[in-house]
Amino acid sequence: MLELKGLSISFGEKLAVKNFSLRAKEGERVAVIGGNGSGKTTIALFLAGIIPELIQARVEGKFQGGKKIGLVMQNPDSQFLSLTVRDELQGLQVHGLELGRLLGRNVFELSEGEKQKVNLVSNILNRCEILVLDEPLELLDPPEARRFMSVIQGIKGKTIIWLDKSDAFVKGWKKIFIDGIEKRALPGKKRCRAGRKVLDADFSFQKNGFALSRIKLELRDGEKVAVIGGNGSGKSTLLKAIAGALKVKGRISAAKRFSFAPQNPTNLFFEETVEAELFSQENAKALGITHLLKENPARMSKGQQKMASIAAIEPGTIALLDEPTTWLDEKNKRAVYGFINGSSQPMIIATHDKALLKYCSRAFMLEKGVLSECSGLRANRFFRAGRNRLKSRISS
């Protein structure tokens, strides 16, 4: 039995969580859904007991719950304390979670989804009573996310608290909304008129056993191109190589300069306010983040940083967007779709987000270091992979 009543958490002046209540019976699954900056991570850290003990904050409200709590965070990398999967699971036996073949491997060789699975299972095996999942799917590609979900669906007898931005993955769970989810219509597609050729790339890249071979890509002015592919297929490397940040064999001729919005927005900012980072305030207006202009990027939530990093692209350049919609809630996602749709800049967008393909004129698939133009059908197959498996698991 887990019960929270009227929880408010504040760091100094800033109120992070306001009057939040939650009730979960033993073995019940509860999804807590809220937008960017609504305090999901703060709630997760409070449930895990981190907040009053390790991080100081002013807490008000009633709390009653178990002591053994497991926490799975967004970033799969930084939660390991051991070298091999066997050590991480502390020699405990795994049944029916398809982890048998991973046991002897080094944790850093695993794919992102496998890492998250190991994090989850090591929490379960440590006999936690309550499992708190803080946006665990955020960095996984769609097939990996589905596989991870199938493991979650198979867990029995644990209270699960799932904190996320949308309810797409938690059909049939008890839901608690922190703030109302605003559902606006997707912006309609604007036909872009392709102008002269601005980018002509034909190159290959090789480093430390990782290779991109014979990448051919042409881009015309005003055109938007999507690049899809699984975790670790090299989408970020491709974008950096195109922008000239890596040494490649071959030729890349561009008529314009590049600007880059990285996957991890923390890597971009170094000024004291968002305003100082931006080239012009037009982008901030288009994205609807003018209220963030005076804030310090280091103190914003991940989603807010992401919005600011997209606003920081320079007008009149070739924009390279690396996963522009991760960490964003529904409202901000739509603002980004609208921004991409309304912009006249040529763009190359690496993404896991299926809805974004609608606003691109062409899509490419990056697989095993080869970039090939792909039809809507093939893209669909990529996004649907793993779905059948999920169904079979639930029915059995």
Closest approach of Cβ 224 to another protein, in Å?
19
* 4/128 with CB nearer another protein: 128
Closest approach of Cβ 152 to another protein, in Å?
19
Closest approach of Cβ 395 to another protein, in Å?
34
SS3 content of the chain, % helix, strand, coil (to 5): 30, 30, 40
What are the b/e assignments for 164-199, b being 16+ CB within 10 Å?
A: bbeeebbeeeeebebeeeeeeeebeeeebeeeeebb
Measured distance CA(353)–CA(334) in Å, rounded = 12
Closest approach of Cβ 240 to another protein, in Å?
5
Closest approach of Cβ 305 to another protein, in Å?
10
Q: Which candidate, 160, 143, 178, places its Cα nearest to that of 66?
A: 160
Closest approach of Cβ 21 to another protein, in Å?
24
* 61/262 with CB nearer another protein: 262
* 37/288 with CB nearer another protein: 37
Residues that bind another protein (CB under 8 A): 45, 48-50, 54, 67-71, 73, 75, 77-81, 83, 87, 106, 126-128, 240, 243-246, 257-260, 262, 264, 266-270, 298, 320
Q: In the 8-state DSSP scheme, what is residue 267? A: G
How far is C-alpha 274 from the chain's CA centre?
A: 21
Measured distance CA(88)–CA(156) in Å, rounded = 22
Closest approach of Cβ 76 to another protein, in Å?
10
Closest approach of Cβ 55 to another protein, in Å?
9
* 22/124 with CB nearer another protein: 124
* 46/382 with CB nearer another protein: 46
Residues in the chain: 396
* 218/272 with CB nearer another protein: 272
Burial of 103 (0-12, 13-18, 19+ CB in 10 A): middle
Cβ-contact 202, 215 below 8 angstroms: yes
* 55/355 with CB nearer another protein: 55
Q: Which candidate, 217, 200, 215, places its Cα nearest to that of 252?
A: 200
* 82/361 with CB nearer another protein: 82
* 74/351 with CB nearer another protein: 74
Closest approach of Cβ 68 to another protein, in Å?
5
Report phi then psi at 320, rounded to 5: -110, 115
Closest approach of Cβ 159 to another protein, in Å?
15
How far is C-alpha 11 from the chain's CA centre?
A: 25
Measured distance CA(54)–CA(39) in Å, rounded = 17
- Which CA distances in Å does 73 have to 23, 41, 64, 307, 308? 22, 9, 22, 21, 23
Cβ-contact 173, 42 below 8 angstroms: no
Cβ-contact 238, 371 below 8 angstroms: yes
**Residues forming a β-bridge with 32:** 163, 176
Give the residue carrying structure tokens 């490419």: 364
* 30/107 with CB nearer another protein: 107
The helix or strand, by DSSP H or E, that contains position 14, with its residue range, turns out to be: strand 14-24
